[in-house]
Amino acid sequence: MDSSGDSPDVPDAVVVGSGPNGLAAAVLLARAGLAVDLHETAAELGGGARSARLFDADVVHDVCSAVHPMAVASPFFQGFDLAAHGVELCRPEVAYGHPVDERRTGLAYADLDRTCARLGADGERWRRLMGPLVEHTAEIVDLLLGDLRRPPRPSIAALLVPRILALGTGVDEVLFRGPEAPALLAGVAAHPMGPLPSLVGGGTALLLGHLAHAGGWPVPRGGTQVLTDALAADFVAHGGRVHTSSRVTDLREFTKTRAVLLDVSPRGLLELAGPFAPPGYRRALENVRYGPGAAKVDFLVSEPIPWREPELAKAATVHIGGTAAQVRASENTVAGGRRAEEPYVLLAQPMAADPSRGLPHKQPIWAYAHVPNGDPLDATDVVRRRIERFAPGFSDTILASRAIPAAELESYNANYVGGDISGAAVTLRQLLARPVVRWNPHTTPLRGVYLCSSATPPGPGVHGMAGLHAAKTALRREFGLALPAGW
């Protein structure tokens, strides 16, 4: 794809990288009336938000991101209005499930009351944990997806702080009688890939966990690619120019451009700007730590996964990790640089919510296992066995599979250093100083150069908010403009 509008040869702004954050920034700059060029190294737009027909022309597989609670909750996507752009978000009956063992399974239904009823004696405890968050979801999302420079309102702090401390220190496990609720929380806390328990994991469990009962954990009808296509179409409609298969290697290409926004990792920023950056900033970027990796496996199967617990068939997302203690043990092993014998596996079965993805006898299954950064493991057998434990007979349904080791994810997306799909390790320190200590982390010491990737606040996820924060800053500082109406 290479589109050219009527914009001049020297654009007002350039965006490098077309992941959700890069596209969000490009959309906002173009809607503000600027002439904007978007450069993408790959032949297709999207970064971590792409889909492909891997094995069969009738089956759509998501290549990286698959399930999108943030597409509902994100202020950027709310302003963009996905529905108005033809994107339908399909909400599964069960937001996510978590088999604990062969007899017990935690289920987070989209309906909070139903979830509490399923948890039995722990139901009211779950309601006390999640119910108040659901009632204040707009304020919580606005805070946690913000640029981390504003203190929370006292009432929101009173809701979040004790809950984050409880989940972040492991106290939550003693608050529940059964193993299902702690496992549900641990499974969500493991999303950032790092040591557990942790305050970052606790915050993630609260944000994503309560969204299960608010906007849900939907999948886009037709695959994640439709999100990318909608953003790209809007960008072009507002005069933006797209350049694919266009690798940017030197920022001096844009010396006449007033603003350059980079949807790249800290390592990518070093490659582009290192020779021109002040030594202190360069050293800070060199010291950024990358987290564990994702070992991706895609399956084409002949029928839905034969879960022991039939209700899991209604979940688009399943966490496979066992008890909360087992999830924490495997995550800590991987964070320490060693493979876990039974690693945490994040699995998506999109046809639970979107039957258009395949056919009754040809269905996509998306999964990845957490492994050490840079691990060359082909995780096909590991993931297959983890699923088989809770779904006997799964192996017999496999028609085809494809594995991408963590060590090879970088070749798909240069931002995934060593397979770290978060752009940099999501630790408390690297969340508060992401990627380096700076009052406005979306700025750089280079005039007119901004960082808009998941290596900046609010961190990983398909939410577009890093792009929004960077675009807001660039518009104000370089052009004296505000964000377009609606944001």
74-109: pLDDT as tens digits: 999 999 999 999 999 999 999 999 999 999 999 999
- The pLDDT tens digits of the residues spanning 313-349 come to 999 999 999 999 999 999 999 999 999 999 999 999 9
**Residue that wins the pLDDT comparison between 428 and 416:** 416
User: What does the pLDDT read at residue 431?
Assistant: 86
Q: Is the pLDDT of residue 435 over 70?
A: yes
CATH top class, domain 2-50+224-288+424-479: alpha beta
The domain spans of the chain are 2-50+224-288+424-479, 69-76+85-218+292-412
pLDDT in tens, 347-404: 999 999 999 999 999 999 999 999 999 999 999 999 999 999 999 999 999 999 999 9
Q: Model pTM? A: 0.95
The proportion of the chain whose per-residue pLDDT surpasses 70, expressed as a percent, equals 98
| pLDDT for the residue numbered 381 | 98
Rounded Cα distance, 261 and 379, in Å: 35
Confidence label for 152 from pLDDT (cuts 50, 70 and 90): confident
* pLDDT at position 309 over 80: yes
Q: Which CATH number fits domain 69-76+85-218+292-412: 3.90.660, 3.40.1000, 3.30.930, 2.30.30?
A: 3.90.660
pLDDT at 365: 98
- The residue-averaged pLDDT of 185-196 equals 97
pLDDT above 60 (res 8): no
**pLDDT of the residue at 151:** 85
Label residue 9 by pLDDT band (50, 70, 90).
Answer: confident
**Neighbouring residues of 409: CB distance < 8 A, sequence distance ≥ 6:** 293, 294, 296, 416, 419, 421
pLDDT of residue 163 exceeding 50: yes
Per mean pLDDT, which range of 106-120, 164-178, 246-260, 463-477 is the poorest? 164-178
Res 249 pLDDT > 60: yes
Q: How far apart are CA 423 and CA 421, in angstroms?
A: 6
What mean pLDDT comes out for the span 53-79? Answer: 96
Tell me the per-residue pLDDT of 255-293, one tens digit each, with 9 for 90 and over. 999 999 999 999 999 999 878 899 999 999 999 999 999
Any idea which of 3-17, 103-117, 193-207, 383-397 has the lowest mean pLDDT? 3-17
Q: What is the C-alpha to C-alpha distance for residues 295 and 74, in angstroms, rounded to an integer?
A: 27
